[in-house]
Amino acid sequence: MKLDKILLSSMIMAGSLFAGVHGTHWGYTGHDDPSHWGDLDPKYAECKLGGSQSPINISKEIIVETKGLEPIKFHYTTGASEVINNGHSVQVNVKPGSYMTIDGEKFELKQFHFHTPSENQIDGKNFPLEAHFVHAAKNGDLTVVAVMFEDGKENAVINKIWKKMPHQAGTKTLCGLSSKMINQLLPKEKTYYRFDGSLTTPPCSEGVRWFVLKDYSKVSKAEVEEFMHTMHHPNNRPIQPVNARKVLQ
């Protein structure tokens, strides 16, 4: 299991997990859409059998107030190396050295990517864009920090990424995004909702710690439309059953 987790985190860093290089083809439309993921490959079985799948609707009914929920400590000090269009999202790979700490553990930032509309919901609301900052510990444990983008003025950092964004699936370009710009994608307020979940793409592996930031960043409608045009369709997995889970705040 530990080896599998380390392999999974290395695939995430390389972008191959999302590109489907190491597994059966999957997608967001037609016979390969999310409702069929669990039947496409035995390795994807958790997509339909798992009890702690992501994304979820963060509603008042499942939120538990927790005193002394520790802050996430972000140490994003390195820039981006490349931007990949893997056919499922646009992914920005980050140079080694950036990390976050939580629960007394250090999780290295591997990459961040985007979904439109948002995958997670807050009180039943979808947002135009959601970014997932994917981190891995040395033992393979994964954390995802999700940032919601609401309609607003043009986002200068998103604009810079989009200018480098390959429009053909399976291609990548070099990216000169600085650590300062990566930090600017995060909202100023870093309080969060926390829950246990999974990857939102096959193999839908569970045991992922999710942190959805409460504050939002801004993005323009034109930028969202450009991303949608590149993807050709929405790239969000539908909301999954919460089951017995609670969301901490």
Which are the catalytic amino acids? 88
Which pair of tokens denotes residue 118?
């948002």
d(CA 78, CA 96): 7
Q: What is d(CA 61, CA 152) in angstroms, rounded to the nearest whole number?
A: 29
Closest CA to 203 of 15, 20, 6: 20
Cα–Cα distance, 246 to 249 (Å, whole number): 10
Query: 84: buried, middle or exposed (CB in 10 Å: 19+, 13-18, 0-12)?
Result: buried
Cβ contact 93:81 at 8 Å? yes
Amino acid (1-letter code) at residue 68: G
